[in-house]
């Protein structure tokens, strides 16, 4: 490996790719949906909501609870979620080493493009010690007209980096995110470890993932010649 990049830039999703946050987030979400009267299991909560923006799921939540979630409810959810993340968040195994290796090969050309709100993204990257790598190249779908599965956040990231989105690699772990990366024209690598909060490979392949990998120590070899 001679450390020459295979792509113009690498765009990372955050939740489930950089940080192991879905377990914590969905535990809090499940508790709050239970409080509204929806006795949803953590497994169903993960299946229904991973990779999606909660504000876009208001109709589903109202159907099951009779309650229309509003800005105040979402703010309360974010507060409770952030307490859990601050206390217990861990990095995806091997991601720190993989990102540092890639940062050397792609100086200034790594970005984090997430559906999450910016305070959450910042909190998480700081918690796992990778904020410095992505600082100035962090993009939130909540700040754009459309979040994933629309391609807006990946298109915005590519534009900010000054690269053609069709020449980028996108690292994703959910069908929603893979759909967004494919719509942006990127080469999408689907992360599918053996984990209850991650998808099976076929769930990502059916929406267009170009490659599947199962451990972060594989990633530099897929992105560096």
Pick the catalytic residue: 2, 13, 103, 173? 13
Instruction: Examine the residue annotation and report whether 164 is marked as an active-site residue of this protein.
Output: no
Which of helix, strand or coil describes residue 53? coil
- Residues found in the chain: 225
Q: How far is CA 130 from CA 5, 110, 173, 213, 222, in A?
A: 20, 11, 19, 21, 21
Pick the catalytic residue: 2, 15, 20, 70? 15
Give the Cα separation of 27 and 43 in Å (integer): 10
Q: How many CA atoms lie within 13 A of 161 on its CB side?
A: 31
Instruction: Examine the residue annotation and report whether 15 is marked as an active-site residue of this protein.
Output: yes
Catalytically active residues, by annotation = 13, 15
């Amino acid at each position: 490996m001679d450390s020459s990049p295979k792509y113009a830039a690498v765009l990372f999703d955050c939740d489930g790719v950089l940080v192991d946050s879905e377990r914590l987030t969905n535990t809090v979400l499940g508790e709050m949906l239970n409080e509204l009267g929806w006795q949803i299991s953590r497994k169903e909560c993960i299946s229904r909501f991973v990779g999606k923006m909660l504000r876009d799921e208001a109709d589903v939540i109202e159907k099951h609870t009779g309650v229309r979630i509003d800005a105040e409810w979402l703010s309360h959810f974010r507060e409770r979620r952030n307490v859990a993340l601050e206390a217990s968040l861990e990095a995806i195994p091997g991601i720190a080493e993989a990102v540092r290796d890639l940062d050397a090969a792609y100086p200034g050309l790594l970005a984090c493009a997430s559906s999450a709100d910016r305070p959450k993204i910042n909190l998480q990257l700081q918690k796992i010690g990778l904020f410095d790598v992505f600082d100035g190249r962090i993009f939130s779908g909540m700040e754009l007209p459309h979040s994933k599965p629309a391609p807006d956040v990946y298109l915005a990231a590519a534009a900010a980096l000054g690269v053609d989105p069709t020449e980028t690699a996108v690292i994703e772990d959910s069908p929603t995110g893979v759909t967004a990366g494919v719509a942006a024209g990127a080469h999408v690598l689907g992360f599918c470890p053996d984990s209850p909060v991650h998808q099976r490979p076929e769930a990502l392949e059916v929406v267009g993932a170009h490659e599947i990998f199962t451990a972060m120590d594989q990633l530099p070899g897929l992105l560096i010649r």
